[in-house]
Amino acid sequence: MASVSTIVDYTNALLEIAQFSDYCPNGLQVQGKEEVQLILGGVTASRDLIDAAIAARADAILVHHGYFWKGEDPCITGIKYQRIRRLIEAGISLLAYHLPLDAHAEYGNNAQFGRLMGFQTDGGFARRGNIDIASYGHLPEPQSASALNERLQAALQRKPLYIQGHDRPIRRIGWCTGAAQGYIDEAAALGLDAFISGEVSEHTYHAARESGIDYFAVGHHASERYGVMALGQHLSRHFGLEFTFKDLQNPV
Ligand SMILES: [Zn+2]
């Protein structure tokens, strides 16, 4: 057991949240009971995740996608009211880490995704401030696009959307979890054979074909499970807490 303030202070420092200029606040977004024994992790602080936390008698929720996004209506009404009301009534704290959890070298979504797929990391790109949001590296052995596609599907349990940009084997590869399809131009400028992200736009198809880079959209949710999992397991070990990851289905 640990106090929520101890866990939040530790995690804020671990993920170096002060280094990021993000689209949302990072850290404790909704305060709940002071003592934490069970943390439930998930990708998004949706109503279903909150209901799962209430059913599991969790003291805190740890997510990648929390609330209070830049540009959204700041009022606590509608869906946001229903979610926050449930949290407050149950005394469940909401801890949310967005870009700091994408970029962390050990527990980050990109680091964990690269590890899951066996990619060797060589560096980063898509710089925001002094932080690289995307990663690039190489496959241990060159691989055909169809073989990589099958491996992605098996690892993530979800069929990727593949856009062919060339017919060479893939060796140098870039990846960025979530909705990072907009970085395809930077990936192509680096001379990478393929770029992987979660989502896809109409424009991505033309960008891939015309700049000669293969593109794989593997799912926003599917690509962003692994940072919360790794961070939650670390917090569990560090503080002697229980941590459970709840993988709610999301086809996007
Ligand atoms: Zn995301």
Q: Where are the domains of the chain?
A: 2-99, 104-220
- Distance from the alpha carbon of residue 39 to the mean position of ligand 1, in angstroms: 20
How many angstroms is it from 63 CA to the middle of ligand 1? 10
Distance from residue 21's CA to the centre of ligand 1 (Å): 15
Residue among 98, 103, 94, 62 nearest 236 (CA): 62
pTM given for the model: 0.95
Instruction: Give per-residue pLDDT as tens, 41-66.
Output: 999 999 999 999 999 999 999 999 99
pLDDT > 90? residue 130:
no
Distance 104 CA to ligand 1 centre (A): 14
| Radius of gyration (C-alpha) of the chain in whole angstroms | 19
Quote the ligand 1 centre to 30 CA distance (angstroms): 19
- Specify whether domain 2-99 bears CATH 3.40.1390.30: yes
* CATH top class, domain 104-220: alpha beta
Look at residue 31 and tell me whether its pLDDT is greater than 90.
yes
Mean pLDDT of 79-96: 98
Helix (H) or strand (E) holding 50: helix 47-55
Q: Across the chain, what does the average pLDDT equal?
A: 97
The yes-or-no verdict on residue 232 having pLDDT over 90 is yes
As residues whose CB is below 5 A from the ion ligand 1, the structure lists 178
| Separation of CA 178 and ligand 1 centre (Å) | 4
**How far is the CA of 158 from the CAs of 110, 148, 191, in angstroms?**
18, 13, 27
Q: Please state, for a pLDDT cut of 70, what percent of the chain lies above it.
A: 100
CA atoms within 13 A on the CB side of 7: 35
Q: How far is the CA of 133 from the centre of ligand 1 (A)?
A: 12
Give residue-wise pLDDT tens across range 151-176.
Answer: 999 999 999 999 999 999 999 999 99
Beta bridge partners of 176: 197
What tokens appear for 129 in the block? 């401030």
Mean pLDDT in residue range 25-42: 98
Q: Give me ligand 1 centre to Cα 8, in Å.
A: 21
Query: Please, which pLDDT band fits residue 1 given cuts at 50, 70 and 90?
Result: confident
CA of 217 relative to ligand 1 center, distance in Å: 13
**Under DSSP, is residue 96 helix (H, G, I), strand (E, B) or coil?**
strand
Alpha carbon distances (Å) from 28 to 9, 40, 74, 87, 97: 9, 14, 17, 13, 9
Question: Going by DSSP bridges, is the β-strand pair 242-245/38-44 parallel, antiparallel, or unpaired?
Answer: parallel
- Is 198 in contact with 133 (CB distance < 8 Å)? no
Residue 246 pLDDT greater than 90, yes or no? yes
Residue 157 has what pLDDT?
A: 95
Tell me if 2-99 shares its fold with 104-220. yes
Among residues 66, 122, 58, the alpha carbon closest in space to that of 90 is found at 58
